[in-house]
Amino acid sequence: MASANDAELRRHGIRRVDLRGVKPGSRGWEEARAAVAASMEALGAVLVVHDALGPDLRRALFGRAVPEFFALPPDVKRGLVSGPINGYIGPRPYAPTYESVRAWETTNGGGVRNVGDLLWPHGRNPSFCDTVSTFATNMLGIQKRVGAMILEGLGVGQGSVVSHLDSLNYSVRVSRYGASEAAAATGYGKLMASHRDCTVLSVVVQHDVEGLELQAKDGSWLAVAPEPDTVAVIAGELLAVVTNGRVPACVHRVSAPGGRERLSAQFVSTPKDGHTVRPLDELVDGHHPPLYNPCDFDGYVHFRFVGDGRKLSDPLEAFCGVAKDE
């Protein structure tokens, strides 16, 4: 479904691509692939129209599973395995109504069922696990298709595309931005400051309430409307490394008209634990010298969230960027 701000997004290079029924080799695949790659090269983001989150699953996720999780007692939520990019983030002084959890690692061992058993011992909430698992399975299809389209669209061969996809982990993250009186009073609230994701790709699903904004090259902010059949696929910093800078990590933020609670879900890919990410050979040549040194993902996460990188506006560049005069 095209929306009023599509023209504005398109003017800045962001495309909306309908992937319903589009499979490798099928009619429309090459055209869709070119549009996905062009949008990614322009601003590190693309809007994807899909059929992976129908009304029933959306209702089960945002009407039940996500509210049930956030309604758990704070100590139960905080008990989830934690680390710089995993686990539960509770309300903080500068973000008093924000909560988020990234815990449902879907491709590495026990995944969602283990977490569900921890939150609701004795299997008292099987529907939660079923909903999150189905959501993850459906979003995995979008992640893999878009991930392949980006690299193929940049001219990367099948073998490298497959080994890139094999090098990733996938997890579910859900966030709640509680109703804010301050935002309601002013009619506007900045819910999450501008940032780049420390991922390969983040699939962002907005529910009902708008808020996601992408930064254009001229610094202006482009609102992405929450539409039931559309997700925003956003390039994270590690995709910039893999593509040797051809795809920039998208700068984005969340702002929303105040008052209403906002829920969102993300399905993100990150390098597997212990993996070192490097620019793909096919994207490095005499005209495109490597822009990044090999990036040890665990080391980068530590640098960015715990170490000196916390204070930097571009921690990736400081951690593994090839200095301009090297």
Ligand X SMILES: O=C(O)CCC(=O)C(=O)O
Residues in touch with Fe ion (CB under 5 A): 197
Contact (Cβ atoms closer than 8 angstroms) between residue 42 and residue 73: no
Q: Which option in Fe ion, ligand X, none does residue 254 bind, with CB closer than 5 to 8 A by kind?
A: ligand X
For residue 220, which phi and psi values (nearest 5 degrees)? -75, 165
CB of 250 to Fe ion, least distance (A): 8
Whether the Cβ atoms of residue 282 and residue 160 lie closer than 8 Å to each other? yes
175 binds, among ligand X, Fe ion, none (CB under 5 to 8 A by kind): ligand X
Residue 271 partner contact from ligand X, Fe ion, none using kind-dependent CB cut-offs of 5 to 8 Å:
none
Q: Which is nearer to ligand X, 164 or 252 (CB)?
A: 252
Tell me the residue nearest to Fe ion as measured from the CB. Answer: 197
- DSSP string over 64-112: IIHHHHHTS-HHHHHTS---SSSEEE--BTTBTTEEEEEEEESSSTTHH
Alpha-carbon gap, residue 270 to 255, rounded angstroms: 25
Decide whether 17 or 249 has the Cβ nearer to ligand X.
249
Please state the closest distance from residue 183 (CB atom) to ligand X, in A.
15
200 closest CA partner among 164, 163, 158: 164
Binding site partner of 14, from ligand X, Fe ion, none, Cβ cut-off 5-8 A by kind: none
Tokens 């983001």 belong to residue: 45
Tell me which of ligand X, Fe ion, none is bound by residue 206, counting a contact when its beta carbon lies within the kind-specific cut-off of 5 to 8 angstroms: ligand X
Smallest gap from residue 252 Cβ to Fe ion (A)? 6
Q: Which residue is nearest to ligand X (CB)?
A: 264
Q: How far is the CB of 264 from Fe ion (least distance, A)?
A: 10
303 in Cβ contact with 319 (< 8 Å): yes
Q: Which C-beta is closer to ligand X: that of 5 or that of 158?
A: 5
User: Which partner in Fe ion, ligand X, none is near 99 (CB below 5 to 8 A by kind)?
Assistant: none
Which parts of this chain interact with ligand X (CB under 6 A)? 175, 192, 197, 204, 206, 211-212, 252, 254, 264
- Pairwise CA distance, residues 161 & 100, whole Å: 31
Q: Name the maximum alpha-carbon separation found in the chain.
A: 60
Residue 323 CB, shortest distance to Fe ion, in Å, is 27
Query: How many C-beta neighbours within 10 Å does residue 259 have?
Result: 15
Coil/strand/helix, residue 84: coil
Closer of 88 and 152 to ligand X (Cβ): 88
- Report d(CA 19, CA 146) in Å as an integer: 9
Q: Which is nearer to Fe ion, 125 or 215 (CB)?
A: 215
- Smallest separation, CB 309 to ligand X (Å): 16
Report yes or no: 304 and 83 within 8 Å, Cβ to Cβ.
Answer: no
Residue 203 beta carbon to ligand X: minimum distance, rounded to whole angstroms? 11
Hey, what are 158's tokens? 């099948």
Q: How far is CA 273 from CA 34, 257, 298, 301, in A?
A: 31, 38, 7, 11
- Closer Cβ to ligand X, 33 or 262, answer by number: 262
Report the residue number, 192 or 291, with the smaller CB distance to ligand X.
Answer: 192
Residue 168 contact among ligand X, Fe ion, none, beta carbon within 5 to 8 Å by kind: none
| Residue whose structure tokens are 């696990």 | 129
